Amino acid sequence: MIRALIADDEPLARRALVRMLRGHDDVSIVAECGDGDTALEAIETLQPNLIFLDIRMPGPNGIDVAGKLFRKFTGSIVFVTAHDSHALEALDLNALDYLLKPFTAERLAQALKRVRDRSGGSVSPEALDFLLKTLREREMPQRYLERIPANRNGRIRLVAVASIERINAMGNYAAIHSRGECYEIRETLQSLEKKLDPARFVRIHRSMIVNLDFVREVQTWFRGGHLVVMKDGTETRLSRYQTDAIEKLTGKVRYEGSQKR
């Protein structure tokens, strides 16, 4: 039996992976962790033999976690990330694999087959050290906005990005909703989208960006569509053309009902 631990700071990403893994009878999920410290503690306590490790996490990131494990961990590690610039070298190492979000059930099955087929041979410390060094060099975190100066009643307020629930387009302006208040900013939604962390903010249609932390649920809509319900009760249709949003909010790799041309 494969005892798997999932370490990823995105709840929706963890949920999607859990759902895919349910299709594999020989895989048992022993824990889900949202940060590096929790992952290290759970690995020490539960002794999994397979770890799905997100590269970017709060606390020790996936690279740091892997660095602390490699000298004593004899199982398999599968790096999971949305950033394709990371460690393609990992594919050439027997103990490692690499999944690029959003990945399909078929791609996950390939990674699991690699885990099952492992002969148990260890990876040389030199190869592992080289991989981790390469990962750290490439892991140049992009800086996103932390505060946004916005207008409310003629006064400029610095709105903490973490408190923003959603942003609505208003032509060349945008309306920022935060903690029950509404602020205006003279900037387009398209421009703002590039400055916000894509791991937290997602554009669900052409006139709205939502903070995933404030999404309460995603309901099935007619004709295979979806309705996004925010924690404050706001309901917004999820555009079928926003494939990235669909993947992040539902875990579906491609929109049900859509067809390739």
Q: Which domains does the chain have, with CATH numbers?
A: 2-138 (3.40.50.2300), 147-250 (2.40.50.1020)
Q: Quick one: pLDDT band at residue 259, thresholds 50, 70, 90?
A: very low
Q: What is the pLDDT of residues 71-114, one digit of tens each?
A: 678 788 888 877 655 445 444 444 467 788 888 999 999 989 98
Strand-pairing partners, residue 229, are 217, 235
Q: Supply the pLDDT for residue 140.
A: 52
The tokens for 5 are 């631990």
Q: Which of 81, 85, 4, 76 is nearest to 39 (CA)?
A: 4
Beta-carbon contacts of residue 215 (< 8 Å; ≥ 6 apart): 228, 229, 230, 231, 249
Q: Quick one: pLDDT band at residue 136, thresholds 50, 70, 90?
A: low
Q: What is the pLDDT of residues 207-244, one digit of tens each?
A: 999 999 999 998 888 776 788 999 999 998 887 777 77
The tokens for 3 are 């005892």
Q: Quick one: pLDDT band at residue 183, thresholds 50, 70, 90?
A: very high
